[in-house]
């Protein structure tokens, strides 16, 4: 007599096959459209779930998902070199790096930064421009999802390749616009140092020179305690722009001094390093814990021809650009006493939830969460949609500071930058971590 199938909870199914439940997943299978229950048939599904459990414990979540959902698994799924059925990329801007593509205030600032550089690298100028705008606006506005507009970025270029000029130029321009401290080029050495910076100015850009060395210190066998505390702080502060941040708690109130919460802290990071130094600092932990996917990486080749610098070049910010920046910040929308996260204005999508901009961002969100990614890819892609929206919101501010609204073009522009960043890290993992010596951290290959 055949036993009648009946619904079981995820915990019950996991108990029968010796698997584990992770949110809406059991042995790597997402329960689609059935709430918290799935149909369980002992005769028909026992072997399927047992095989799925074996795949799950070996780390192959994608194949486990297909098996547990009763879907066919291609014979070449275990061949790492076989063509894969990957999610379709959402539409992207074809050339987001140029000042003309960025447009508005971002384009103006990036053009000036590039024009005053000894070794001009437009991509790095754009990163510095984004950081400056985020630092100046982070205490006033939020993205459409109420995320902050603060961004974590790192520029990658060879030694003496022009990495140092853009952050210095951003600092000079911020100071000239009357926002002293909006860009800080100090050398924070610990959690406490970073917290003090934000207590002085809740929306701040910190410049981290040789970011790759910080990563190496974090992941060394004898881990550097100060470097580890910086990592812990950055993990915690990334998404606090719409909340109150209490900071580190000490046994003695006198140790910390100011124990009050920080209102809506928006920390932007502008790191600099060389590709090799960054890749040597990557580890399985930095990928899997979400530290790396918080960052947007900018890389570029140096110009084909480098000329000696003109002695007459002007490194000081032009007054016209300073005035544009001041006017932009002054014209940002205000809450005027309406309810909001610390009176920060939430910048909308053009057309709201039914508009094309929200629809395109939804495509990026779905692309990020597609089940066809393997485990490492999911970790690397983990904040693609959020970083896209942060960049897109900054571009919307740049275009129209008085009445910003995120357009579909802003989304496509932001995603193009984020997608390139994902490619930089993915390539670094394939080239450097697969060749790690015995005993070094490695990323699992599926």
Weakest-pLDDT range from 118-132, 218-232, 331-345: 331-345
CATH 3.40.50 fits 99-433, yes or no: yes
Q: Measure the CA dihedral 394/398/401/405, to 10°.
A: -60
Tokens read off for 229: 């505390």
Cβ-proximal residues to 209 (8 Å cutoff; 6+ apart), any chain: 164, 187, 271, 272
Average pLDDT over residues 128-146: 95
What is the pLDDT at residue 41?
35
pLDDT tens, position by position, 144-193: 999 999 999 998 887 766 778 899 999 999 999 888 878 887 778 788 88
User: Residue 316: pLDDT above 80?
Assistant: yes
Tokens read off for 80: 């790492």
65 pLDDT band, cuts 50/70/90, is low
User: Residue 319: pLDDT above 80?
Assistant: yes
Average pLDDT over residues 311-324: 83
CB 161 within 8 A of CB 200: no
Bridge partners, 263 (sequence order): 244
Q: What share of the chain is helix, strand, coil (3-state, %, to 5)?
A: 45, 10, 40
CB 110 within 8 A of CB 125: yes
Tokens read off for 224: 């550097």
SS3 2: coil
54 pLDDT band, cuts 50/70/90, is very low
Between 281 and 203, the higher pLDDT residue? 203
Alpha-carbon distance of 53 to 248, in angstroms, equals: 40
User: Residue 48: pLDDT above 50?
Assistant: no
What is the pLDDT at residue 309?
67
Alpha-carbon distance of 407 to 433, in angstroms, equals: 38
% of the chain with per-residue pLDDT over 90: 39
pLDDT tens, position by position, 279-308: 887 777 778 888 899 999 998 777 767 777
Instruction: Quote the DSSP letter at residue 429.
Output: I
C-alpha closest to that of 173 among 72, 318, 65, 61: 318
DSSP class per residue in 37-89? EEEE-HHHHHHHHHHHHHHHHTT-HHHHHHHHTT----GGGG-TTS---PPPP
Conformation bin of residue 162: beta by default, left when phi > 0, alpha when psi is -120 to 50:
left
Helix (H) or strand (E) holding 205: strand 203-208
User: Residue 19: pLDDT above 60?
Assistant: no
CB 406 within 8 A of CB 149: no
C-alpha closest to that of 123 among 302, 295, 262: 302
Between 159 and 422, the higher pLDDT residue? 422
Rounded to 10°, the helix 122-137/319-331 angle is 40
pTM > 0.85:
no
What is the pLDDT at residue 75?
56
What is the pLDDT at residue 446?
32
Alpha-carbon distance of 204 to 223, in angstroms, equals: 27
Bridge partners, 21 (sequence order): 26
79 pLDDT band, cuts 50/70/90, is low
72 pLDDT band, cuts 50/70/90, is low
Residue 163 CA, chain-centre distance (Å), reads 20
CA-to-CA dists, residue 439 to 214, 364, 367, 435, 446, angstroms: 20, 37, 34, 11, 20
User: Residue 444: pLDDT above 60?
Assistant: no
Conformation bin of residue 147: beta by default, left when phi > 0, alpha when psi is -120 to 50:
beta
DSSP class per residue in 382-406? TTHHHHHHHHHHHHHHHH-TTS--B
CB 408 within 8 A of CB 350: yes
62 pLDDT band, cuts 50/70/90, is low
Tokens read off for 278: 């960054």
Between 263 and 212, the higher pLDDT residue? 263
pLDDT tens, position by position, 1-13: 344 444 445 566 5
Weakest-pLDDT range from 102-106, 139-143, 249-253, 308-312: 249-253
70 pLDDT band, cuts 50/70/90, is low
pLDDT tens, position by position, 347-367: 999 999 999 999 999 999 999
What is the pLDDT at residue 381?
94
**What are the sequence ranges of the domains in the chain?**
6-78, 99-433
Average pLDDT over residues 329-348: 77
């Amino acid at each position: 007599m055949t036993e009648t199938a009946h619904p079981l909870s995820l915990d019950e199914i996991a108990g029968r096959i010796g698997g584990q439940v992770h949110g809406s997943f059991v042995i790597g299978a997402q329960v689609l459209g059935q709430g918290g229950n799935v149909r369980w048939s002992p005769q028909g599904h026992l072997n399927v779930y047992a095989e799925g459990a074996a795949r799950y414990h070996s780390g192959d979540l994608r194949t486990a998902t297909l098996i547990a959902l009763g879907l066919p698994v291609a014979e070449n799924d275990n061949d790492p070199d076989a063509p894969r059925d990957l999610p379709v990329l959402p539409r992207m801007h074809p050339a987001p790096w140029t000042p003309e593509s960025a447009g508005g205030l971002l384009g103006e600032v990036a053009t000036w930064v590039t024009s005053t550089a000894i070794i001009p690298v437009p991509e790095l100028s754009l990163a510095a421009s984004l950081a400056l705008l985020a630092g100046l606006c982070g205490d006033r506005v939020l993205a459409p999802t109420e995320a902050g507009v603060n961004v974590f970025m790192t520029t990658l270029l060879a030694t003496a390749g022009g990495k140092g000029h853009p952050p210095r130029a951003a600092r000079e321009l911020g100071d000239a616009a009357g926002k002293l401290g909006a860009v800080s080029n100090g050398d924070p050495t610990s959690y406490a140092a970073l917290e003090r910076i934000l207590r002085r100015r809740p929306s701040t850009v910190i410049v981290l020179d040789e970011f790759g060395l910080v990563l190496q210190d974090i992941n060394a066998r004898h881990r550097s305690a100060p470097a580890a505390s910086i990592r812990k702080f950055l993990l915690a502060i990334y998404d606090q722009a719409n909340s109150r941040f209490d900071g580190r708690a000490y046994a003695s109130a006198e140790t910390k001094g100011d124990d009050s919460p920080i209102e809506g802290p928006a920390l932007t990071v502008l790191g600099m390093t060389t590709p090799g130094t960054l890749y040597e600092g990557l580890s399985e932990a930095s990928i899997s814990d979400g530290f790396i996917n918080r960052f947007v990486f900018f890389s570029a080749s140096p110009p084909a021809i480098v000329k000696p610098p003109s002695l007459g070049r002007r490194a000081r910010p032009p007054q016209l650009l300073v005035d544009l920046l001041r006017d932009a910040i002054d014209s940002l929308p205000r809450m005027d006493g309406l309810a909001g996260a610390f009176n920060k204005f939430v910048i909308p999508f053009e057309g709201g939830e039914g508009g094309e901009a929200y629809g395109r961002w939804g495509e990026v969100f779905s692309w990020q969460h597609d089940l066809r990614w393997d485990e490492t890819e999911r970790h690397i892609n983990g904040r693609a949609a959020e970083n896209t929206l942060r960049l897109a919101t900054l571009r919307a501010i740049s275009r129209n500071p008085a009445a910003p609204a995120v357009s579909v073009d802003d989304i496509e522009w932001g995603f193009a930058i984020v997608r390139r960043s994902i490619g930089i890290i993915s390539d670094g993992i394939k080239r450097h971590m697969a060749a790690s010596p015995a005993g070094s951290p490695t990323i699992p290959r599926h």
